[in-house]
Amino acid sequence: MALDRKAVEDIAHLARIALNEEDIPATTTKLSGILDLIDKMQAVNTDGVAPLAHPLETTQRLRSDAVTESNQRDALQAIAPATEDGLYLVPRVIE
């Protein structure tokens, strides 16, 4: 599908892209090439081809969900300025 100068100017206006006069011919050629590639891709027969979520058939290796650290809450809260019922107390910010 070949685009003309007017179509490229309209596309640039809709996309809020400022094109210089000397950039319009190159942009027209590039956009026409992209649309030609899309036409070629749409012409390919894909009947019987299952869609893929990813081109590689991979599985994610997961580690076991196990506790790896001991509970240190009492030791950490012992050095805090103020705690109550296992929570850190902070100054009120919002009245």
pLDDT tens readout for residues 12-53: 999 999 999 999 999 999 999 999 999 999 999 999 888 887
> What pLDDT was estimated at residue 2?
81
Angle CA 58–63–66, to nearest 5 = 160
Dist CA 83 CA 74 (whole Å):
10
- Which pLDDT does position 35 carry in this prediction? 93
Span 53-82, pLDDT tens digits = 778 877 888 888 899 999 999 999 999 999
What is the DSSP code (8-state) at residue 32? H
What pLDDT, on the 0 to 100 scale, is given for residue 58? Answer: 78
CB atoms within 10 A of CB 64: 5
